[in-house]
């Protein structure tokens, strides 16, 4: 049994987990059997990702007054651990 990690980054429209998704990225360390489609946001907001079994790793800190017009700031990072050859060990 081998455990592998999937990473989901969600940038939300404001820094609240129940806010809508503005951008996303998905990285898959598994065999690809549980990949996410990239044509539409995989979840409408961060809470929906939690409800689907993703474990929250990182939340954004306070946004300083200078960080107003650059990167998307409300970045949340999730992981899901998948056991290859069996069911996932963490998350759904």
Partner 1 sequence: MVSSWEPTLTTAQVAEFVANGMLRFDELVPAELNERVLAELPAMRDSKYAAFFGGAATSSTEAEEGKAGPPETGTPMSECHRGTAIGDVLDMPEVRGIVASLVGPDPLFDHDFVHHLPAGYGDRQHLHPDAIVDTADPTFDIQLFYFPHEVAPRSGGTRFVPGTHLRRVPSSSTARYQNVVGEQRFVGAAGTILVFHHGLWHAGDDNPSGDDRWMYKIRLNPTVPQVRLWDTTDFDTLHNDPSDHVFAVSRNDSVAAILRTRQPWQGEEMFRYDLVERTKLWRYLSDDPSFDADHYLTRLDRPRAR
Cβ proximity to partner 1: between 12 and 82 the closer is 12
d(CA 60, CA 10): 11
Cα 40 to chain centroid, rounded: 14
Contact between 49 and partner 1 (CB under 8 A)? no
**β partners of residue 4:** 82
Could you say which of 3, 28, 29, 41 contacts partner 1 (CB under 8 A)?
Answer: 41
Q: For partner 1, which is the closer residue by CB, 69 or 87?
A: 69
Q: Does 70 bind partner 1 (CB under 8 A)?
A: yes
Residue 2: C-alpha distances to residues 29, 31, 60 (Å):
11, 11, 31
Measured at the CA of 46, the angle between CA 28 and CA 66, to 5 degrees, comes to: 100
Only one of the segments 45-53, 54-62, 65-73, 79-87 lies at the binding site for partner 1 (rule: CB under 8 A); that segment is 65-73
Binding residues vs partner 1 (CB under 8 A): 9, 11-14, 19-26, 38, 41, 68-72, 74
């Amino acid at each position: 049994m081998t455990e592998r990690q999937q990473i989901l980054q969600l940038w939300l429209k404001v820094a609240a987990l129940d806010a809508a998704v503005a951008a996303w990225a998905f990285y898959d360390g598994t065999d690809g059997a549980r990949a996410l489609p990239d044509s539409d946001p995989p979840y409408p907001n961060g809470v929906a990702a939690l409800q689907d079994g993703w474990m929250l790793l990182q939340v954004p800190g306070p946004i300083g007054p200078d960080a107003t017009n650059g990167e998307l700031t409300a970045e949340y990072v999730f992981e899901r651990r998948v056991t290859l050859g069996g069911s996932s060990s963490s998350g759904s």
